[in-house]
Amino acid sequence: MDNKVLTVSGLNSYYNVKTDKWGIGTARRQVLKDVSFEIGRGEIVGLVGESGCGKSTLAKCILGMVKDHDGRIEHGSTKMIFQDPYGSLNPAKTVGWILEEPLRIKKELKDPERNKKVSEMIHLVGLDDGFLVRKPGELSGGQRQRICIALALMMEPDLIIADEPVSALDVTVQDQILKLLLKLNRELNIAFLFISHDLKVVYSVCERVMVMKDGMIVEQGSDEQIYRAPEHPYTRQLLAAVIDDPVRDGS
């Protein structure tokens, strides 16, 4: 585990699903099938795949939120930016309190330093101190998403799993957030598992890309490899939708 922040090997995961509408009969449905990959320190890896293929499930397995799984998962300090920001922020607390929480737990910093750090972070995600006194319910969708990003960054973990982190953001803010992630990646060597359905976004930040279909990783390689010479039909289908772009013209 020295230069790896995440090792996943032979991972299978299952959900119990009801087989009748009274909820008496249940069956074990497999979602992830023999998933294996590694992420090195400071690496940015993209995960793409169609809706429902198991991307969020993989993220939840890594964080120990899916009980029924087998295989091996090893990781260092890891934080997650959830796909559904609303559910992951405490609605009763203010944004300032929420962002300060990890620092309070760490107990390294004194009050004024903590406040300074919280304020710095909120500016980095394109918001200002005025938002610190608000509760999550008083924010717009994109503002909430940025609070989640700020929260994950606050902890400076080895790895951040970002599940559709910029999907609700307009292009100007999206650009700013992606640049911020790259900056923190460079300065603090934070690795990212970047889940997105947007191939352009993935290409713009990731060095390596994995393609998932029906719970299996059907293709993985360097971004250039995948984007220029996709092997799997699903990858080709995804790329066909953005075919007007220069990378694919093979220059």
| Binding stretches for Mg ion (CB under 5 A) | 56, 83, 140-141
Q: How far is the CB of 222 from Mg ion (least distance, A)?
A: 24
Beta bridge partners of 13: 32, 69
Identify the residue among 24, 105, 140, 251 touching other proteins (CB under 8 A): 140
Span interacting with ligand ATP, options 69-77, 116-124, 132-140, 235-243, rule CB under 6 A = 132-140
Query: What is the DSSP track for 128-144?
Result: -GGGGGS-GGGS-HHHH
Identify the residue among 2, 21, 51, 112 touching ligand ATP (CB under 6 A): 51
86 near other proteins (CB under 8 A) = yes
251 near other proteins (CB under 8 A) = no
Do the beta carbons of residue 127 and residue 139 sit within 8 Å? no
138 near ligand ATP (CB under 6 A) = yes
| Integer Cα distance of 3 and 243 in angstroms | 36
Span interacting with ligand ATP, options 72-80, 84-92, 133-141, 179-187, rule CB under 6 A = 133-141
218 near other proteins (CB under 8 A) = no
Do the beta carbons of residue 13 and residue 57 sit within 8 Å? yes
75 near other proteins (CB under 8 A) = no
Q: For other proteins, how many residues bind (rule: CB under 8 A)?
A: 63
Look up residue 139 and give its two tokens: 């924010």
Half-sphere exposure of 40 (CA within 13 A, CB side): 5
Angle 171-188/141-154 helices, nearest 10 degrees?
0
216 near other proteins (CB under 8 A) = no
- Taking residues 164 to 203 in sequence order and writing x for each that binds ligand ATP by CB under 6 A, - otherwise, the string is ---------------------------------x------
The SS3 call for residue 13 is strand
15 near other proteins (CB under 8 A) = yes
| Integer Cα distance of 212 and 134 in angstroms | 38
The SS3 call for residue 110 is coil
Span interacting with ligand ATP, options 37-45, 85-93, 134-142, 233-241, rule CB under 6 A = 134-142
* Greatest C-alpha distance within the chain: 59
Is the four-CA dihedral 57, 61, 64, 69 of positive or negative sign? positive
146 near ligand ATP (CB under 6 A) = no
- Taking residues 210 to 249 in sequence order and writing x for each that binds ligand ATP by CB under 6 A, - otherwise, the string is ----------------------------------------
